[in-house]
C-alpha cells in the first residue's frame, strides 16, 4: 500500500505539556494538532496507548485493547459535568514538574479523581450518557469484560501476576469467575467506565485531527505482556505450562542496541493453535487498532517471518534461537475480513532477505532511519539519498538517541571519506541539515521525533533499550511549540514537496 508524500512528527501523548504532570487527550493534544496543521504536517505518530505494566513502558501493557487511564483529561471531564472544579484542585507539584513525567505522582493525583467522576456519573448522569456507556460496553464486550475482570482481580490480590491468584482463577473456572464477578461487581463497573471515558476522548481527538487532514499513526507491539488480560483470557494461544507460567519468551539477539540482546520476557505465540482458529485473535487485534488509528506501525514485524525463542529461565537473550514464524498467513486472514491494512512494517535490526521479501509480498512500506546509515562507508541502506519511495523515513525512533545526542557521541569513520559529510554542506544547524535530508529523500513519508525538531541532546531521549527504569518520561515544554517554529517547519516541509 502506497501513502501520499507527506511529513509528520513523532510525539507520544505522555510527552505533551499539561498542568497535570502528564500529557493527555484533552486540550494539550488538540493544541498539538493545531501546531501540526500550522506546520504543514499530515501525520502524528504516537506510541502504544495501553495501560502500562511495571516500568511504565507503553510496549508492555496489561491489555492490547484497553487505554491508559492516566491519559484521560480531567479538564475534559469538568467540561462534561462529570467533575466540578472543586473536585480537581490544581496540583502545584505536578504543574511545576513540566519536563518529566512522575508516573507515581500522576497516578496518585488522577486516579482518585476518576473515581470521583464515576461516583458523579452514578448519581447524576443523563439518560443519553448512560445509554452511550451501555452501547460502548456491548460493542466492546469481547475484550472489555475480561480486561475489567483482570484489572479488578489484579487490584484485589495486589498482584498482576495472575499465576499467583487462586488456582481456579488461573484455570478460569466458570464457577470461580462468576463468583468473583459478583464480589467485584463495583470495581468491574468502574473499570468499564474508565475505558469508556478513554474511548470517548480518543475518538474526539482523532476526529479533530482528521478534520484538519492529519492522520493518527499508532504503534502495535507484536508481542503482549504475560501479566495481561490477553494472556490470562487466551492461555491456549501462548507457550505456557500447566500453571500458566511462560515456557518460552521473546526477545532479540545481540544487536546495535545491546551486546547481550534484549530479553523482553513476553510469552511466545502458539502459532499452530492460532492457525486452527484462522488467526481470529489477530484479526480482532488488527481491527481494534485500525478503528483507533489511520496508520499502524507493527513493531518487530520480522517476528512474522522468524522470531528469537528464548527459554523462560535464561538470564540473557544470548541463549535463544531463531524459529520460523507464520509468515503472511495472519495478515492475509485479517485482510480477508478487514480489507486493505494501512500498515508500516518495523523492519529494523537483524533483518534478512526473507523478512524484506515477506514485507514486499504484503505491500507494506518498511522503515529507514538516518542514524543507522553512517556506521561504515559501504553500507548506504539507511542514508537518505538511498531511501526507496515505498518507505517511511526517520531521523530516529523512540529507541534511538536524539539526533544531536547521536551526532555528538558519534565516532567518525576511521578510514576513507565519512559519508555523513555529504549531508552537512550548508550553514544551517546540524540537526536542521540532517532533518532536511530526510524530508528531501524519496521516501513517501518522513517522520521526525519532536526532540529532533527542537535540536535537543540526549537529555531528551525517550527510551534506552534494555534499561528497565527511567524511560518514557520526557516532555516537551509548552513554550517550545511556537507559531514561529510551526512557520519554519511549514517552509521546510513545502521545500521538500510534502505539503
Which of the following is catalytic: 151, 227, 347, 399? 399
Q: Are 497 and 5 in contact (CB under 8 A)?
A: yes
Active site residue 99: no
- 459-487 burial, b at 16+ Cβ within 10 Å, e below that, comes to ebbbbbebeeeebbbbbbeeeebeeeebe
Distance CA(287)–CA(347), nearest Å, equals 22
Question: Cell triple for residue 463?
Answer: 527510551
Which H or E element spans position 309? strand 306-311
Distance CA(239)–CA(312), nearest Å, equals 10
Distance CA(361)–CA(354), nearest Å, equals 10
Which of the following is catalytic: 20, 151, 299, 452? 299
Looking from the CA of 233 toward its CB, the CA atoms found within 13 Å total 21
- 168-181 burial, b at 16+ Cβ within 10 Å, e below that, comes to ebbebeeebbeebe
Distance CA(395)–CA(11), nearest Å, equals 13
Active site residue 399: yes
Closest CA to 331 of 321, 340, 319, 322: 340
Active site residue 328: no
Question: Cell triple for residue 105?
Answer: 505522582
CA 193, 199, 204: angle at the middle one, nearest 5?
130
Which of the following is catalytic: 151, 305, 346, 347? 346
Which H or E element spans position 6? strand 6-10
3-state secondary structure 240-299: ECCCCCECEEEEECCCCCCCCCEEEEEECECHHHHHHCCCHHHHHHHHHHHHHCCEEEEE
Determine how many CB atoms are found less than 10 A away from the CB of residue 195: 26
Supply φ then ψ for residue 478, to 5 degrees.
-60, -35
Place of cell 484521560: 72
Active site residues: 299, 346, 399
Amino acid at each position: 500500500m502506497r501513502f501520499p508524500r507527506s511529513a509528520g512528527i513523532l510525539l507520544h501523548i505522555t510527552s505533551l505539556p499539561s498542568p497535570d504532570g502528564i500529557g493527555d487527550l484533552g486540550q494539550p493534544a488538540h493544541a498539538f494538532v493545531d501546531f501540526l496543521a500550522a506546520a504543514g504536517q499530515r501525520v502524528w505518530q504516537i506510541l502504544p496507548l495501553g495501560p502500562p505494566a511495571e516500568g511504565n513502558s507503553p510496549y508492555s501493557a496489561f491489555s492490547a485493547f484497553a487505554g491508559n487511564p492516566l491519559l484521560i483529561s480531567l479538564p475534559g471531564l469538568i467540561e462534561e459535568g462529570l467533575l466540578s472544579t472543586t473536585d480537581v484542585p490544581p496540583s502545584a507539584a505536578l504543574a511545576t514538574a513540566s519536563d518529566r513525567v512522575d508516573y507515581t505522582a500522576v497516578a496518585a493525583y488522577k486516579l482518585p479523581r476518576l473515581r470521583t467522576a464515576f461516583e458523579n456519573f452514578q448519581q447524576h448522569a443523563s439518560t443519553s450518557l448512560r445509554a452511550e456507556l451501555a452501547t460502548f460496553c456491548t460493542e466492546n464486550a469481547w475484550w472489555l469484560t475480561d480486561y475489567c475482570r483482570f484489572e479488578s482481580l489484579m487490584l484485589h490480590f495486589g498482584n498482576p501476576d495472575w499465576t499467583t491468584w487462586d488456582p481456579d482463577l488461573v484455570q478460569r473456572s466458570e464457577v470461580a469467575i462468576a463468583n468473583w464477578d459478583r464480589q467485584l461487581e463495583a470495581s468491574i463497573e468502574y473499570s468499564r467506565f474508565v475505558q469508556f471515558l478513554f474511548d470517548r476522548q480518543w475518538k474526539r481527538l482523532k476526529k479533530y485531527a482528521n478534520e484538519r487532514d492529519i492522520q493518527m499513526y499508532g504503534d502495535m507491539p507484536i508481542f503482549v505482556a504475560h501479566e495481561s488480560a490477553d494472556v490470562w483470557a487466551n492461555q491456549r494461544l501462548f507457550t505456557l505450562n500447566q500453571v500458566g507460567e511462560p515456557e518460552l519468551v521473546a526477545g532479540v539477539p545481540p544487536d546495535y542496541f545491546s551486546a547481550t540482546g534484549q530479553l523482553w520476557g513476553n510469552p511466545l505465540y502458539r502459532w499452530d493453535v492460532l492457525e486452527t482458529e484462522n488467526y481470529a485473535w489477530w484479526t480482532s487485534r488488527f481491527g481494534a487498532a485500525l478503528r483507533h488509528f489511520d496508520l499502524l506501525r507493527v513493531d518487530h514485524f520480522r517476528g512474522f517471518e522468524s522470531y528469537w525463542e528464548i527459554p523462560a529461565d535464561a538470564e540473557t537473550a544470548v541463549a535463544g534461537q531463531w524459529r520460523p514464524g507464520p509468515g503472511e498467513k495472519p495478515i492475509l486472514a485479517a485482510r480477508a475480513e478487514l480489507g486493505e491494512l494501512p500498515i508500516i512494517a518495523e523492519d529494523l535490526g537483524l533483518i534478512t532477505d526473507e523478512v524484506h521479501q515477506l514485507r514486499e509480498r504484503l505491500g507494506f512500506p518498511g522503515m529507514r532511519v538516518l542514524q543507522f546509515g553512517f556506521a561504515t562507508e559501504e553500507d548506504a541502506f539507511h542514508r537518505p539519498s538511498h531511501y526507496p519511495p515505498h518507505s517511511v523515513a526517520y531521523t530516529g525512533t523512540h529507541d534511538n538517541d536524539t539526533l544531536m545526542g547521536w551526532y555528538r557521541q558519534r565516532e567518525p569513520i576511521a578510514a576513507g571519506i565519512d559519508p555523513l559529510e555529504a549531508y552537512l554542506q550548508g550553514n544551517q544547524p546540524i540537526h536542521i541539515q540532517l532533518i532536511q535530508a530526510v524530508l528531501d529523500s524519496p521516501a513517501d513519508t518522513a517522520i521526525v521525533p519532536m526532540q529532533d525538531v527542537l535540536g535537543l541532546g540526549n537529555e531528551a531521549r525517550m527510551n534506552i533499550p534494555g534499561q528497565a527504569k527511567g524511560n518514557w518520561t520526557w516532555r516537551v515544554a509548552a513554550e517550545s511549540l511556537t507559531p514561529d517554529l510551526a512557520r519554519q517547519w511549514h517552509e521546510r516541509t513545502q521545500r521538500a514537496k510534502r505539503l
